[in-house]
Amino acid sequence: MTRTPVAGTRIAGFGHYAPEQVVTSVEIERGLGLTEGWIVGRTGIRERRVAAPHEAVSDLAFAAAEKALADAGIPKAAIGLTLLATSTPDHLLPPTAPLLAHRLGLPASGAVDLTGACAGFLYALVLADGFVRTTGRAVLVAAANILSRRVDPSDPSTAALFADAAGAVVLAPSPREGAGVVGSCLASDGSGYDLIQIPDSGSRLSATGQAGAGRMVMREGRTVFSRAVAMMASSCRTALEEAGLTLDDVTHFLPHQANARIITAVAERLGISPERTLSSVADYGNSSAATVPFTLSALRATRAYGAGDVLLIAAAGAGLTGGAAVFRF
C-alpha cells in the first residue's frame, strides 16, 4: 500500500476537563496556619480543582479526550495511536492508555503511557507529530493527573501548587507545508533527579524496605525554580533556531503552568509579553503534564488560533526533564 506523503500536521480537535470540586488557596492557608494571601503571593494560584473519590486518571483523560475527538470530527478508525502523558496512572501496571483507547472505542489504535512528569505532553506531541508524518494516521494525545492524592497536606511546597485536570488534542495530517511541529528541543538533566520525587512508588525500595503509594517531595525550591527557568528558556531558543524563526515570530507562548513566578520569569527572560502568554494557573493550579493541553483547549474560545500562527510550548519538571516545541497552526 502506497502512502500519500504528509505535508504537515494540524490540531484537529481540542478538549479539556477539570473536576467539579474547587479548593481555594484560602482554605489551604487556613489548614496550614498560613496568613491569607501567602499562597497567591508566592505562586499566583487562587484555586485549584480536586478529583472526586471515585475518579481515576482514566476518567479525567476520557472526559477530555471525548471532547477532543468530537471536536475533531474524524472517524475513530482514523486514530492510529493513543498517547497518555501521566505521572499518576490508574495502576503502575498495566498502563492506563489501553483502557482509555478501549473506553473511547478506538478499534485500531496502539496505546501507551508516557511518564515525562511536567514535560510529558510536550514529549508526546513531538512523538505524535513524527507518527502522523510517517504513517498518515491521526494521534490522540492526552495528558491527565490526579496529584491531589500525592501531595503532603502538611507541606506548603506541594499542597499549595498541585491540582487535578486533563487535556487532549487530536493531531491529524494536514496538506499545508510547514504546519505542525517545525522545531523542537527535548532536554534532560539527571543531576536534578531527586529534586522532585514520589520516592516510594516504584522499584527502588524506601528506607523501610517497602515500596508504597508515597507522597510527593520537593527539595530545594529555589534550585528547582532557577533550573526550570533556565531549561525552558534555553530550549525555546534552540527550538526556534531549528524552526528558522525568532521570538518576534511567536504568536502564542504556552509554558507549563508550574506557578505564576516561573511563567513570568521564563517569559521575561525570552522577552515575550504577557499579551502573548497563555495561562490558566491562577484558577486551575499545576496539574503537571496536563497543564499545557488543558490551557490550550480552555483558552481557545478567547484566543483565536489562526492559520500560520506560531505556538511556542515549553516545559520542565521532575527528572529533570523538559524542552520546547514550535508548532505552526
Catalytic residues: 118, 256, 286
Three-class DSSP category at 250: coil
Give the separation between CA 117 and CA 107, rounded to whole angstroms: 28
Give the separation between CA 282 and CA 273, rounded to whole angstroms: 18
CA-atom Rg of the chain in angstroms: 19
Give the separation between CA 169 and CA 323, rounded to whole angstroms: 19
Neighbours of 188 (CB within 10 A): 16
Question: Residue 324 — φ and ψ, nearest 5°?
Answer: -155, 155
CA angle 17, 117, 167 (to 5 degrees): 15
Residues contacting residue 207 through CB under 8 Å, at least 6 positions apart: none
Q: Name the DSSP letter for residue 34.
A: P
CA atoms within 13 A on the CB side of 322: 28
Neighbours of 1 (CB within 10 A): 2
Is 188 within 8 Å of 246 (Cβ atoms)?
A: no
Q: Residue type at 51?
A: A
Three-class DSSP category at 310: strand
| Residues linked to residue 106 through DSSP beta bridges, in sequence order | none
Is 285 within 8 Å of 45 (Cβ atoms)?
A: yes
Tell the residue number behind the cell numbers 494557573, with chain if given: 281
C-alpha 48, offset from chain centre: 16
Which among 14, 131, 116 has a CA at the least distance from the CA of 82? 131
